[in-house]
Amino acid sequence: MGAWARGSNTTMAKWQLITRIKRTTMNALNKPMLLLLLLPLLFTLPTKANEEFPVRSLYPKVQPIELEELRSRFDGVVVFDVRSGYEYETLHIKGARHLALNDRDFIPALQQLRQEDPRPFVFYCNGHTCKKSYNATQKAQQANIDNVYVFDAGIFTWTSAYPDQAVLLGKSPVDPKQLLSKEKLAEHMLEPEAFGQRVGQNAIVLDIRDTLQKNAISLFPMQQRSVPLDNTRLQSFIDQAKSENRILLIYDAVGKQVRWLQYYLEEQEVPSYYFMKGGAKGFLAY
């Protein structure tokens, strides 16, 4: 090899070394600045999962099971509805067992069943922003019950996707059009003042709070009836409202239970009924 070639190679090697040093130096200088610029984006840029399931990040140790996976594995898992009994009776996944999260025997019941059944346990509630199913799964984990999952898409997503695998008011399959929208609920929701003004105007007023929720406070003394949230117990008042062409005014504790009662009122074709926005809590705060 000639001197020129050797010199050219030496010069090239030097330039390559200088270039690497420059690149390394620039990277060292730029990385901290780049991280400072990107960190806000890393924490604020929403992912599709975070947008659709905003509660997941609050329960990092709880393992979710997705809609399609639950359907494909359905016969190999045990599904639990952890909502209230009334919600379950109104709409639930076909084949799901009811075990309310607030049941004092919640964990003992799961522990007993785990001894009998090794299949995965899956917990669900209303979905997406509902925390009951996450809390149920977390409680099971804390009780050393293994192989547990949360189906956080919830009952409405399931019913829309698999109407033949859902039960509405004792009937299956479910017509997805029967799922009531938030707008439909809003049509029958009155502000506390407007609700109060209708009391006494050819209306039947029903307080469907349970004993603990009432705390001995009656919002409309001598003008209301206290009735448990039970369709059989409510039926006589529904029949009376229809036969006498009277308005049904119904309120609960915080304005959430009436959402499920609306399904029964619609099935019964009650012509005129209203709920109180925010329930008794909203009225007392008004």
CATH code: domain of residue 253: 3.40.250.10
Same domain, 123 and 141: yes
Do the domain assignments include residue 167? yes
Given a cut of 90, whether residue 113 has pLDDT beyond it is yes
In a domain, 50, yes or no: no
Q: Write down the mean pLDDT value for the chain.
A: 87
Q: Is the pLDDT of residue 98 over 80?
A: yes
**Is 69 in the same domain as 170?**
yes
Q: Cα 154 to chain center, whole Å?
A: 6
| Nearest in space to 247 (alpha carbons), one of 234, 256, 238 | 238
Shared domain check, 232 and 194: yes
pLDDT bracket for residue 275 (50, 70, 90): very high
Residue reference for tokens 């999962």: 49
Helices (H), 73-131: 85-90, 106-116
| Total count of domains within the chain | 3
Indicate the helix (H) or strand (E) that contains 275. Answer: strand 273-276
CA distance 271 to 285: 30
Range of the domain at 19: 3-45
Q: Pick the closest to residue 262 from 253, 273, 252, 254 (CA basis).
A: 273
Quick check: 40 pLDDT over 70?
no
In this predicted structure, what is the pLDDT of residue 211? 83
**pLDDT at 164 exceeding the cut of 80:** yes
Rounded average pLDDT over 13-33: 47
Picking from 36-45, 59-68, 192-201, which range would have the lowest pLDDT averaged per residue? 36-45
In a domain, 198, yes or no: yes
Say how far apart CA 103 and CA 109 lie, in whole Å: 10
Residue 223 covered by a domain: yes
143 and 69 housed in the same domain: yes
147 and 93 in a common domain: yes
Check whether the bond before 173 is cis (ω within 30° of 0). Answer: yes
Token pair 């420059």: residue: 22
pLDDT bin (cut points 50, 70, 90) of residue 5 is very low
Nearest Cα neighbor of 82 from 21, 138, 162, 166 is: 138
Domain shared by 37 and 130, yes or no: no
Token output for 167: 């039960």
Residue in the block written with tokens 């006494």: 200
Q: Which residues pair with 250 in a beta bridge?
A: 206, 275
What local confidence, expressed as pLDDT, does residue 43 receive?
41
Picking from 174, 194, 182, the residue whose alpha carbon sits closest to that of residue 262 is: 182
| Residue 200 sits in the same domain as residue 96 | no
Asked if 205 contacts 223 with a C-beta cutoff of 8 angstroms, the reply is yes
Residue located via tokens 């905003």 = 54
The mean pLDDT of 196-203, rounded to a whole number, is 94
Domain-located, residue 121: yes
Is there a single domain that holds both residue 167 and residue 245? no
- Round to whole Å and give the CA distance between 83 and 160: 19
User: In whole angstroms, how far apart are CA 257 and each of 51, 111, 172, 209?
Assistant: 26, 30, 23, 9
Among residues 176, 199, 216, the one where a domain terminates is 176
Residues 94 and 130 in one domain: yes
Statement to judge: residues 108 and 213 lie in one domain: no
pLDDT for the residue numbered 78 = 98
Looking at 127, 151, 176, the residue that finishes a domain is 176
Best CA proximity match to 153, nearest among 127, 188, 126: 127
- Pairing of the two strands 91-93 and 166-168: antiparallel
